[in-house]
Chains A and B, each alone.
Chain A
Amino acid sequence: MLNYETHEYDVLVIGAGGAGLRAAIEAAATRLSVGLVCKSLLGKAHTVMAEGGIAAALANVDQRDDWKVHFTDTMRGGQYVNNWRMAELHAKEAPACVRELEAWGALFDRTQDGRILQRNFGGHKYPRLAHVGDRTGLEMIRTLQDHGIHQGIEVHMECTVVTLLQDDGRVVGAFGYDRERGRFRVFRAKAVILATGGVGRAYKITSNSWEYTGDGHSLAYHAGADLMDMEFVQFHPTGMVWPPSVRGILVTEGVRGEGGVLRNREGRRFMFDDIPELYRNQTSDNEEEGWRYTQGDPDARRPPELLTRDHVARCIVREIKEGRGSPHDGVFLDIAWIKERLPTAEDHIRRKLPSMYHQFKQLAGIDITKEAMEVGPTTHYVMGGIRVDADTQMSNVPGLFAAGECAAGLHGANRLGGNSLSDLLVFGKRAGRYAAEFAAEHGAGTIDEAQIESTATWALRYFESNGSAPTEAENPYRVQADLQDMMQDLVGIVRTESDLRKGVEALRDLAGRAQRVTVPGNREYNAGWHTALDLRHLLTVSEAIALAALERKESRGAHFREDYPDKDENEARENIIVRKGPDGEMQVTREALPATRSDLQTVIEEMQ
């Protein structure tokens, strides 16, 4: 008989970053019992890495801003394949969510008249990002954490979910293990919210930590939920490139918001060379105007460095490919130059970008107030994810909700910087509210013991003491690294049909190798075992990304197909859906994008 601990809640939240914490707080406010499970310690989730700010049309700095402009910016940034309803809710509800954080103790940087200061960011028409220097994510997660621990939420730290438990289709709980002892745990719940973040560990160069193996995407997929838009993976244009061991670590867009510029090895500001039609009216065509924009001149247009991330990343790749890159295969990001304009530039940089200053000083030996940084694209975020109802965040599987990065819809083909933190708050809150409602209306389901037994057997077979043939044994870290190399090469920023097909083929081979993984040692805090168990999720999301990327035969936002380099309006009328077929195979289908409500369509057209 299998030994496991059982916990019972009305609502179970999986993941304790911004979305998970916000969801748990909201669900707990209804006085239902709430459990929160997270793979790391509380407060360490990837939200802590967010630097730039939270996008919300507070209009504290520029009074022309309102939800309509934010909505339009989000749709334009997402190349109009966003879920319009989510974009509407997000733009309307983000300001209240930011003010709520302040009421819970967050201390944002201030305007002269004492209100929340907002800064410029790529693709946002007006200064819109509430921020704290360049450590906004830390402020946000700490505020939610410190508020959340007093709301009666039961937290299970360092605990990983392996599968969702189902009763006749409905999700009624989750099964996992605690990392410390490797003991199995069953969580029974009337409703489950996935808030597990992204999939960055599927790639070699990434800003994401070990946790981001697509757990939520994969758990939902295997439970029968639809995944949508998985081809849209955001490569942030500015990650560190040197030294090799720090490759991929994020360099905030805030550097460009504060006046930082991109140059190639010839010293040319290459972003002026290619300004997309969609943004021509909003973008400055000379350096002088661009500088004035970053300094808050309301009549100036944004510099081309602040175009959307997909475009900036592609321009950087082009410069490197054509031989104009920096010594270590990147380009130069220069903030030190502003000393030509500001007498107090050094202090200003250290005050506005303290953690960037620190990061480069300590990890690369570079003083960013004096020298240019070297940067290149890094896997940062997945726009695609679990398909959810815009209002309630429930997936097509009853009782299963999703919020934050693991949910799809809001960001379309490309996410604007700053829209992630606001996404976590707005839709975390909604998921919490509607999951609680669902829990109140439904009784507890029945747990399937057979499902628990078979999952446990699967999880334990990785131990070498369980007798796999040692000649064929695979190292889990090796398999993971090979998968990351392959995805980087074949399913990365620039894609072609033949590469993608090779990628799908390679995934089959990797799946075979993953079967042969064995790990030494016992169940106690065994990182090798944890890595082996996460491989299943990585393989699932990698396959979903590759198949969706094959299916979308156009280039849009973050998805760039060299063999279909242009946008195709027919392709843009459909979402690519990935779901598990009856025989366990991955199916790819298309579904028509819901038509934008007419009043919102008018808003978009008026702001062209």
Chain B
Amino acid sequence: MNDTLKNHATLAEKFNRDIPRVDWHDKTLWFVREKRDKAANQIPDWEKLRETASQIKNNVLSNLHDYLVEFENNAQQNGITVHWASTPKEHNEIVHRIIQQHGVEHIVKSKSMLTEECGLNEYLEHQGIEVVDTDLGERIVQLAGEPPSHIVLPCIHWKKEEIGELFHQHLGTPKGNADPQFLTSAARAHLREHFLHSKVAITGVNFAVAETGEFVVCTNEGNADLGVQLADVHIACMGIEKIIPQRKHLGIFLRLLARSATGQPITTYSSHFQKPRAGQEMHIVLVDNGRSERLGSEDFRNALKCIRCGACFNTCPVYRRSGGHSYHTAVAGPIGSILAPALDMEKNADLPFASTLCGSCTNVCPVKIDIHDQLYKWRQVLVKNGHVTRGKKFSMMSMRFLLSHSSLYNFSGTLGRWVMRNLPSLVNNKFNPWYKQREMPQAPAQSFRSWYLKNKQHGK
């Protein structure tokens, strides 16, 4: 394991140096989790909905080839141009080519985790094209030069006073004004100009329907719609796993998506794009980037069912107290921790360990991804592939030796307790991470086994 790589524990420790901020971050996200609970509880059939969504997604994964072909055919018949990209690089080049064909140097983009995954903004900026993220939260982190810290709430780690200062610097709002209403209207005016002057608009895709060749984009702000309806060219970027079989299945997924994400009954806008308007070009870029390979893994393919609602982020006690950037990957949180190692095992070997395996993520997941079980399985894969420190490997090997010999185990237990009682400084010191903020357990004179031998002679 390379020690120079970014590491969740180290980044989380930094985040935890400002405890009031951690408390604020935790409470804000817990509030969203509570809204989700309230929304879910208003639907008596909630668990059945999750099960149905999960089964539909299982069907999609098992028949993805045919659904992709069906979708492509129908989309083409609808007048949409379909592109295929194996890699992020290919995706970025396709998008760039379309932009070039229109001689444009300035585009707007609404939220798309896929383009984050592919590093599209960076790529296009290198080509001299200005990309303006139009989701308010994404625009905030973009102005700040940061990636989003949450897939649904991109700037959930920013305080309004900091946003006020950021807007003062970049948009010229009065210094010291941190009123969300005021700041939002300033952003509205600023972004309206970009909407009006962009000939190309990029969006993500929430669902693509094989049966009809249409795709659905959900936003609350209406930024995706304003962007594409004012542009001559609409480019929609999606991972190949976003396909669903039939239009009626949207009923299942749209009932789950916003309730799971923010506790809203539905997003403000659920736009179904079936055909370009007269004179408009509509493109879809279908991206693989390792998905087809993951489809072959029984243990990990379920992660492809994800609908990017972010519920597992909000409920995760570790995410809430470590912040999205501690995951150092486009998709953070529990789902990111099972997606990222498949993309780069070495860089993301720490992420499956950034969890207590509490299982709350699995329970909130609207499509029933076994997230915490996959975290456990990733740990096994990472260790087998050598992504583990030598110290850890040594301690595990020793533990195995100790625990497979009961006499050794009993001896070392006795020894350990004796040390803790008589030489506590050997244990209670700064090299022991347990002791930094916690007392060690108080070691008793005898183990249960010794007590049992003395008091219960009928023991074998």
Same complex for A and B? Answer no
